[in-house]
Structure 1
Amino acid sequence: MMFIIFFICIPFVHSELHTFTTTCTEINGQMVAEIPEISSVAVLDGQPIDYYDAEIKKLIPRQDWMKEFASGGRFKEYTEFRERLQRTNEISIRLLMERFNHSHGVHTYQRMHECDWDDETGDSHGFDEHAYDGENFISLD
């Protein structure tokens, strides 16, 4: 008697959702020495990948693979983008303080960009949110 063994191969498809978020914060007014006036952090899948603030004026990689990426010219472009974002945020908070008639005190402006994409389907979604003193005032989908 002869036994034949069949192996059934069922491919498992694993869809992975990735999320990339950049959060920029501007604080205007009386400052705490340990908190920079402007800071920005990028997060990929829940892990911080870089950091920028107005005090150090450079983009600091937070993951080993980002440190390798930092040696290329593309990283310089990302640093320049954060510098432009810093100037834009400085203007934004001044305009908001003016609009809300806030001439003194501590005020914050925060902007968060996020996009997610699904490896399997290629679907993506993103948003751009702006907040002043902790209250959202613009949310773009």
Structure 2
Amino acid sequence: MKFIIFFLCVPLVYSEIHRFITTYTAINGKTIAGTPEFSAVTTLDGQQIDYYDSNIKKMIPKQNWMNEFASTEMWKKYTDIRENLQQIYKNNIHVLMETFNQSHGVHTYQRMYGCEYDDETGDSHGFDQYGYDGEDFISLDLKKLRYNTSVPQESHSDEVE
């Protein structure tokens, strides 16, 4: 009996899409004790690389390779930026509540922005999206260079008549 062995040569092309995403979340209203009113998380390729919240008021590196950067002056500046954003988001959530005629309840305001890069093609694109109470609110259309709203222009109310 003879065995014939065939070697199949298939070139393996491995393409990876890299994603860098920062998410800010503000919460207003009565929540579980200890829940921060503002938090910020940055991920790279699905791995969390930093964290900030309104309770600890500092950025925490979440990967060992971030520790060296965390000791720089730039890290301090990024921490200051997030502290300032904390106040901006606190103000924005109140403006949104007024806009939607809401005087009470727990409400969330989020922003997610970042970019994706494809190793194989070199293609990249960015995104900037906002959400309110778990629904899409505003997103940036980079092709038309304008923000689009997903929310009807009418006001909503959470008050019982």
TM-score category of the 2 structures, normalised to the smaller one: 0.7 to 0.9
Equivalent-residue separation in structure 1 for 2:34 and 2:56 (angstroms): 13
Match of residue 115 from structure 2: 115
CA apart distance, 1:120: 4.3
Indicate the SS of the match to 1:76. Answer: helix
TM-score, structure 2 normalization: 0.75
CA apart distance, 1:139: 1.1
Q: Which has the higher contact order (CA 8 A, sep 6+)?
A: 1
Equivalent-residue separation in structure 1 for 2:41 and 2:123 (angstroms): 25
Equivalent-residue separation in structure 2 for 1:107 and 1:123 (angstroms): 37
Equivalent-residue separation in structure 1 for 2:72 and 2:109 (angstroms): 31
Alignment of 1:10-21 (within 5 A): 14-21=14-21
Alignment of 1:118-137 (within 5 A): 118-137=118-137
Residue 82 (1) aligns with residue 113 (2): no
Percent of aligned positions with the same letter in both sequences? Answer: 63
Aligned residues, how many? 132
Equivalent-residue separation in structure 1 for 2:14 and 2:118 (angstroms): 10
Match of residue 3 from structure 1: none
CA apart distance, 1:26: 0.5
More divergent stretch after superposition (14-23 vs 35-44):
14-23
CA apart distance, 1:14: 4.5
Indicate the SS of the match to 1:75. Answer: helix
Match of residue 29 from structure 1: 29
Mark the runs of 5 or more structure 2 residues left unpaired by the alignment.
1-10, 142-161
- 4+ residue runs over 6 A deviation: none
Equivalent-residue separation in structure 1 for 2:67 and 2:57 (angstroms): 17
TM-score, structure 1 normalization: 0.85
